[in-house]
Structure 1
Amino acid sequence: MPVSDPRSRLALGVAAIALALYALFFAGDYALHVLTRAGIYAIAAIGYQLIFGRLGALSLAQGCFFGLGAYAAGLGALELGLGFPLTLAAGVLLPSLLAALIAIPVLRLASHYFALATLGIAQLALLVATNWTDVTGGANGLYGVPPIETGTLSFGHGLPLTLLVWACVGLALTVSHRMTAGQRGLKVETLREAPLAAAALGIDGSAIRFRFFVASAAFGGLAGALQAHAVGVVSPDVLQFHVLVLILAMTVIGGRASPLGAILGALLLVHLPEWFRDFADYYLVVYGVALLAAIIFLPRGLAGLFGKSKMPPVETADAEAPHDPAPLTLSVETVSKRFGGVTALDGTSLTLAPGEILGLIGPNGSGKTTLVNLLSGIEKPDGGRILLGDADITGKPPEHIARAGLCRSFQHPQIAPDLTVLETVEAIATKGESAQARVIEAGLSTHANERAGTLPPAALKHLEIARALATGASILALDEPAAGMNEVERAALATLLKRLADAGHGILLIDHAMDFLLPLADRVICLSAGRVVAEGSPHEVARDPAAINAYFGESPL
C-alpha cells in the first residue's frame, strides 16, 4: 500500500508516535538495542522491496549488499580513519557500485537464473571476506569499529543511537516513496505483472530494473554501515545466507510492496525471538509456527490489514477531450522473418495511412501475429524495413516504437490484475494525455474503479485499446480484438474503431471474424505462408481465389 494513501499515512503516523513514546519513556537499554536492530533491518527490507516486492525479481544478493556496507564502513573507520558521515557514504557507495557493475548482465536473466546469479555473487563476496585476511581480518573479522560520533554529538548506544537509526528509516521511506509514488508506481506494477505489454506500451523496463536494483543495494549498504557502528564488529557472518533469509522473511511477512509492511515485518521478526525465549527448547518450533501463520493468514502481509488504496472515481462531466493523434503513415517494405527452418514472413509489404482501417486476414500460421510482433519491436526482422512516418523503426526496442507512435494490443490481454481500469491507463499515459478521457472514450467509465482482473473479456479488450491510446499513438495494431465477443459487444467495438479512425488513427486490424472485419475495413490484405496473396477492398478480397484458397485450400480456420 503506498505511503501516499491517507490510511497508510495515518497508520504510519500512529506507529511512529507509538514507537517514539515507547523508546522515550518505557524501553530500557536492551529494549532500545533490539529496537535499533529492528530499524537497521527495516532499512534493508525497504530496499529489498524495490527489487523483490515491486519488480518481482528474486535477488539473493541483498544480504551481500548489507555485508559489503558493513565492511566498507568498518574498513573506512579502522584503516582510513574516516569519520562517521564518510563511513556511512562508503557503506552506501561500495554495494551500489557493485550492483551497477553486475546489473547489466544479471538483470537480463529470467526468474531462477537471476536468483542463481545473485546467489553466486553473494557467495563470492563471502569467500573474499573469509579468505582476504590482510584486509578483512578473515574469519575473525574487524574489531573496534568506533561508535557513531559527529562533531560534539555521540550516538554510541542507547536512545541517541535508536533515534538516529530510525531517522534513517524515515529517510529510506522518503526515498522509496519518491521512487514508487503515483504514475511511477503504476508503471512498476505494470512492468512486474505484464512485462511484454509494458515494453510494447513504452515503459523502459531496463532503466527501471537498473535503478531499482542499484537503489536496493544502496539501502542494504546503508543498513550494513549502521550495523557496523552499532555493534562495533564486522565479520563474515554479516555476509552469510541467513541475513538474506531474514530480510526476505521481513519483506514477505510485512508486505512485499509496502514500506510500512517492511517496518512491521522488521519489528516483528527482530522481536519474536525475544518474546519466545521463555519457550526454551521449543523456541524455534514456536517461532516457525508464528511465521507460517502470518504467511497463511496474511497473504498480503501485515500491510494487507490496511487494505489497498483506490484512484478517485471518474467523473464524465469533468473529463478532458481526447487528443487527436499526429498523422503518421506506416510502411512495411519486404519484411522477412524466419524461426529456424520455418519462414514466418517472406517479403511482406503493406502501407497504412492515417485514418484508415486495414484488415489483415489469413489462416492460422500465416504470419499475422509475427508481423505485429515485428511492428511493435517484440521480434526483430531478418530483412526489409519498417517506417513510421519518416522514421525507420526497424528492429528498434518496443519502448522506442511505442514512444514513436505505434502501439499494439495482444490476443490474450496482458494486464496488472490488481490495478483498477483507471490506474491501468494512468500507468501508460504520456504527457498531455488524460487517462480519464481515454477510459471514457473506450466506453469503460462504468468500470473505471474496478480491478482489471475482474473485468469481463470484452471490457478487457476495450481496456487494451484505452491503454494504447493513452500513449498518444497514431497507429494501433490490434490482434484479435473481437475474439470471444457476442454481436452486441462486436457492434460496440466496431463503433469505437470507426470513431478512432475518424479521429486520424491508422488501425491495423487482425481478426478471424469476417462478419466483423470486412464491413469495418477500408482495405484488406490476406496473408498465406508469410506472403501477401490478395489485397484490395473487402469485397474484392472476399472473392479473390487466392484468398479463398488460403483459407480452405491450405490451412482452414
Structure 2
Amino acid sequence: MRDRRNALLLAAALAGLAYALFFASPYGLRVLTVAGVYALAAFGFQILFGLGGALSMAQGAFFGLGAYVTGILGSRYGLDASVTFPLSLLAPLLVALPVGLAVLRLESHYFALATLGVAQVLHLLAVNLPDLTGGANGLPGVPAFALFGWVAPRGLPMAALVWGVAAVGGLIGWRLARGRLGRSLELVRDDPLAAGCLGLDVGRLRLTAFALSAVYAGAAGALAVHTQRVVSPEVLEFPVMVTILTIAVVGGRGRMVGAVLGALLLIHLPEWFRGLERSYLIVYGAALLLAILVAPNGLTGLLERLFPPPPRALPDAVEPPAGPRATGEILRVEDLSKSFGGVRALDGVSLSVQAGAIVGLIGPNGSGKTTLINVLSGLERPDDGAVWIGGRDRTGAPPDQIARAGLARSFQAATLPNHASVLEAVAAARLPFDRSVAEAEAHARWALDRLGAGDLALRPCHGLPAALRRRVELARALARRPSVLLLDEPAAGLTDAEKADLAAHLRRLAWEGMALLVVEHDMDFLLPLVGWVLCLDRGRTLYAGPPDGARRDAAVIAAYLGGPAVRDDSDDEDGA
C-alpha cells in the first residue's frame, strides 16, 4: 500500500512538472511559483504548529519581515541574493529568539495572542516608517533574483528556483520531523509535563521550533518579493497568516508533503473559481469546508486512509547502557514544605530512600502525596527544604534536569500519546539520551521485552486497557535506566493477578539496585511489597516506619486506614 501511495505522489509530481514545462501559461507559472513560496513558509509552520502544537500567529509576520529585508536591500541598495537572502533568514531569526524566550512559556490561546501582537507591531512599523519601508505604498522596483551574475527571470526559471529551494527546505523539514527533534516535539505537543519528566527540555525544544519556523518564513518572504517585484504592508497582514495556517491544516498537520499538497490546492482554488466573479469566494469557502469534512486529518491523512502503510519491522532489542550500580542513599528529602495560597500541601516532610529499597507513601486524599511526587520530579518548586538525588542537591531544578539526574516517575493516569504506537511511546523516553530514533526504538524494545510486553510494540496506545497502559508506562520509565523510580498509584484499576505480576516486576527492579517510592491506596498490594512506609496527613508526616507498624498505629488508623487497631499478641505478657 505504501508503494502505491508513493507511486501516486510521484505521478502527481511528474504531472506537475509536465504542466510547468509544456502547458502552463505565464500566469499559470506565476501562480505555481506563489504556491511554492507558500509551501516553503508552511514547512516551518508544520514544525512549530504541526509537530510542536504551538499556534503561532507570527509566521506571517516573519514572512513579511523576510520580504521587507530583501525588498529594502534590493531596491534601495542594489544588493543581490548573496547578501539579501541570508539576511532575510537572519532577521526573522533575530526577532524570533527574544520573542520566543518571552512568550513560549504561555499556553494555548495566550501564546497565539502574544504572537499576533508581534505581527501587529511589525505591520505598524512598516506603515509608519515611510523613509525606510515606503509606508502604505510599499517599495516598487525590487530586482529579480540574482546570484553571482546569474538572474532568474519571471516564468519557468523563477518557478524552478522557488520549487528547488522548496524541495531543499522540504527535505530538511522531513528529516527533522522523522528524527529526534520531530519525535520530541510531538511528545511536547501531546503532554509537556510528561515530556519534561522524561528528560526533554521543553523550553529549548519550543524555542528551536519557533526559530526554525521563522527561518523558513523569512526564506519564503524573500522569494515572494522577487516573484512580485514589489513589497508592501500587505505581506504583513493577517490573510498571509491565515493562508499558511489553512495550508497546514488542509494538507495534514506535521507533514511536509501535506504542506506541498495544501499549498498547491489553496493557491490554485481561487484561480479555478475566478470565473464565478463575485460568488467565487462562497464556492471557495465551500470547497475548503468539503475538503475538511472529507479529510479531517488533511490530504495526507486521506492518502494514509486509502493506502494504509504495511506493518513495520520491529528493531532488535538492545539493552540501554546503565550507570554503575548505585549503593547507599539515593533519594533524600529534608523538611520539604509547599503551599498553594492558604493551603499547606507539604509541611516539613522528610524522607530517605536507599538503593534497592521500596518505600510506600500513603495517606488520605488531599494529604500531599501527589504534591510530594511533583516536587521531587520538578513539576513544583518547594517553598522550603531540600531534595538530594544521588548525593547532589536538586532542589528546585526543572523536570528535565532531575530526569537526567536519574529520577523517573509515572502518573496517576498513564500518560501515553494516543496517536503513537507502544514502541514509539516507550522510545520517547530515550530521545534525550540516544543519538537517533532507531537507537531509541531498539532500547525501547528491550524495555518492553523485559516487562513481557514485547508483543504490544506495534499496537497503538489508544484503546489499551488499564493494565497494559500501566505496563507500558513502567517500560517507558525502565528504558531510561533510572536510579530512583516514583510510582503514583501503579495498581489502580488492576486485577489481583495483574497486581501480583506488577509487584514481581517491582521487586526485581529493587533487587537490581533501583530505589522505588510507591504511592498507593491499596494496602493489600502495598504493605507486603514495601520495607518502609511514610504516611502523610494534611501535608505532615503522621507515621514513618515499617509496614506492620502502620497497621497498628492509632493515628494512621484514625486518619486513613479506619477500623480498630490490629492487636499484636507478642506484646501480651501471657502470650494469649
Counting only pairs closer than 5 Å after superposition, residues 301-380 of structure 1 correspond to structure 2 as 301-307=298-304, 312-314=312-314, 318-321=316-319, 326-327=325-326, 329-380=330-381
Number of residue pairs aligned between Structure 1 and Structure 2: 548
Counterpart AA for 1:78 = S
Counterpart AA for 1:234 = V
TM-score normalised by structure 1 residue count: 0.95
For residues 224-278 of structure 1, the C-alpha deviation after alignment (integer angstroms, 9 at most, x for no partner) is: 1001111110001111111111111111100111000010000001110111122
Higher alpha-carbon deviation: 149-158 or 333-342: 149-158
Whether 1:402 and 2:403 are equivalent positions in the alignment is yes
| In 2, Cα distance between equivalents of 1:11 and 1:355 | 56
Kindly state the Cα deviation for residue 43 of structure 1 after the two structures are TM-superposed.
0.4
Whether 1:451 and 2:449 are equivalent positions in the alignment is no
Q: CA 1:322/1:41 → structure 2, altered by over 3 Å: closer, same or farther? A: closer
Task: Tell me the residue number matched to 1:538.
Answer: 547
Counting only pairs closer than 5 Å after superposition, residues 155-174 of structure 1 correspond to structure 2 as 155-174=152-171
Counterpart AA for 2:467 = A
Task: Tell me the residue number matched to 1:101.
Answer: 98
SS at match of 1:366: coil
For residues 329-362 of structure 1, the C-alpha deviation after alignment (integer angstroms, 9 at most, x for no partner) is: 1111111111111111111111111111111111
The one of 24, 28, 33 equivalent to 1:31 is 28
The one of 295, 299, 309 equivalent to 1:298 is 295
Task: Tell me the residue number matched to 1:387.
Answer: 388
Task: Tell me the residue number matched to 2:470.
Answer: 461
Task: Tell me the residue number matched to 1:196.
Answer: 193
| In 1, Cα distance between equivalents of 2:218 and 2:49 | 17
Counterpart AA for 2:398 = P
SS at match of 1:25: helix
| In 2, Cα distance between equivalents of 1:397 and 1:309 | 39
| In 1, Cα distance between equivalents of 2:561 and 2:504 | 30
SS at match of 1:347: strand
Whether 1:523 and 2:532 are equivalent positions in the alignment is yes
Kindly state the Cα deviation for residue 530 of structure 1 after the two structures are TM-superposed.
1.5
Kindly state the Cα deviation for residue 142 of structure 1 after the two structures are TM-superposed.
0.3
Counterpart AA for 1:150 = L
TM-score normalised by structure 2 residue count: 0.92
For residues 56-103 of structure 1, the C-alpha deviation after alignment (integer angstroms, 9 at most, x for no partner) is: 111111111111111000111122321112111121111111111211
Counting only pairs closer than 5 Å after superposition, residues 211-360 of structure 1 correspond to structure 2 as 211-307=208-304, 312-314=312-314, 318-321=316-319, 326-327=325-326, 329-360=330-361
| In 2, Cα distance between equivalents of 1:295 and 1:233 | 34
The one of 553, 556, 560 equivalent to 1:547 is 556
Identity %: 49
Higher alpha-carbon deviation: 293-302 or 24-33: 24-33
| In 2, Cα distance between equivalents of 1:403 and 1:10 | 44
Q: CA 1:206/1:11 → structure 2, altered by over 3 Å: closer, same or farther? A: farther
| In 1, Cα distance between equivalents of 2:275 and 2:331 | 73
Counterpart AA for 2:13 = A
SS at match of 1:396: coil
Partners of 2:47 and 2:182 within 8 A in 1: no
Whether 1:210 and 2:211 are equivalent positions in the alignment is no
SS at match of 2:528: helix
Partners of 2:127 and 2:136 within 8 A in 1: yes
Counterpart AA for 2:116 = L
| In 2, Cα distance between equivalents of 1:61 and 1:7 | 38
SS at match of 2:482: coil
Task: Tell me the residue number matched to 1:489.
Answer: 498
Kindly state the Cα deviation for residue 527 of structure 1 after the two structures are TM-superposed.
1.2
Counterpart AA for 1:208 = L
| In 1, Cα distance between equivalents of 2:176 and 2:208 | 9
For residues 265-299 of structure 1, the C-alpha deviation after alignment (integer angstroms, 9 at most, x for no partner) is: 00001110111122233211110110001111211
Kindly state the Cα deviation for residue 204 of structure 1 after the two structures are TM-superposed.
0.7
RMSD of Structure 2 on Structure 1 (CA): 1.9
The ranges of structure 1 where at least 4 consecutive aligned residues each deviate by more than 6 angstroms after the TM superposition are 5-8
| In 2, Cα distance between equivalents of 1:311 and 1:489 | 29
| In 2, Cα distance between equivalents of 1:444 and 1:187 | 23
| In 2, Cα distance between equivalents of 1:309 and 1:498 | 40
SS at match of 1:82: coil
Kindly state the Cα deviation for residue 528 of structure 1 after the two structures are TM-superposed.
1.4
Partners of 1:53 and 1:257 within 8 A in 2: yes
| In 1, Cα distance between equivalents of 2:406 and 2:561 | 36
Kindly state the Cα deviation for residue 490 of structure 1 after the two structures are TM-superposed.
1.1
Counterpart AA for 1:393 = R
Kindly state the Cα deviation for residue 13 of structure 1 after the two structures are TM-superposed.
3.9
| In 1, Cα distance between equivalents of 2:339 and 2:146 | 65
| In 2, Cα distance between equivalents of 1:391 and 1:174 | 43
Structure 2: 5+ residue stretches without partners: 564-576
Counting only pairs closer than 5 Å after superposition, residues 25-104 of structure 1 correspond to structure 2 as 25-104=22-101
Kindly state the Cα deviation for residue 398 of structure 1 after the two structures are TM-superposed.
0.2
Partners of 2:36 and 2:166 within 8 A in 1: yes
SS at match of 2:462: helix
SS at match of 1:58: coil
SS at match of 1:454: coil
Kindly state the Cα deviation for residue 179 of structure 1 after the two structures are TM-superposed.
2.2
Q: CA 1:106/1:46 → structure 2, altered by over 3 Å: closer, same or farther? A: same
